[in-house]
Structures are given as C-alpha cells and as structure tokens.
Amino acid sequence: MNIFTWMKLLLFHANNFRILDVQLSESVTQLEADLQAAVTEAKEKEELHTSCCERVANLEQAIKDHGRDRESKLMALEKQIKSIKQQLSVSAKELKVRSKTHLCGTILYITKCI
C-alpha cells in the first residue's frame, strides 16, 4: 500500500468520524430535548396531582363540616318539636279546663233560668 492509499483511507475515516460526530451530536441534542420535555410533563403532572389532593382534602373537610352542621341542625329541630309538643299539650289541657268551665257555667245558667 502506498502513501496515497493511506491518505485516502485516513481522509475517508476522518470524514466518517465527522459524520458520526454530527449524528451523535444531533442525537444527544434530541435526547436532551426529549428529556427536558419529559421533566416538564412530570412537573405538570405532579402539580396536577397536588392540586387534586388539595381539592379532595377540601371536599372531605366540607363533608365533615356539613355532617356536623346537619347533626346540630337536627338536634335543634328535635328540641323545637319537643317544645311545640309541650306547648300543644299545655294548650290542650287549658282548652279542656275552659270547655269544662264554660260547660259548667252554661249548665249553672240554664239551671238558674229554670
């Protein structure tokens, strides 16, 4: 092999190395861009997950508060019902007493008239 053949081979391999270097550089650049996109997407999903967790916690708290409010409102309504029943019972007794008194008064009036 003469020197010219060696030179051609060296130039050929050098050219191939440059092409490979460019291809590798492009591949690395593309991989870095893909990695950055994946990192950004992961951060967005993490933020979405955190937001959803906060909303779930807020809803759970609202449900607990509503349950407590509901129980206290039911207890207040039960007290009002008992109070109204007692008032109704007292009123019914008073009405019976008045009707008896009125009936007795009417009977006395009728007997006086006779």
Question: What span, in angstroms and rounded, lies between the C-alpha atoms of 58 and 75?
Answer: 26
Question: What span, in angstroms and rounded, lies between the C-alpha atoms of 106 and 99?
Answer: 10
- pLDDT, one tens digit per residue, over 3-46 is 878 888 888 888 888 999 999 999 999 999 999 999 999 999 99
Question: What span, in angstroms and rounded, lies between the C-alpha atoms of 9 and 2?
Answer: 11
HSE-up of residue 22 (Cα within 13 Å, Cβ side): 5
**pLDDT for res 71:** 82
- What mean pLDDT do residues 91-97 have? 77
Three-class DSSP category at 2: coil
- The distance from CA 79 to its chain's CA centroid, rounded to whole angstroms, is 33
- pLDDT, one tens digit per residue, over 38-76 is 999 999 999 999 999 999 999 999 988 888 888 888 888
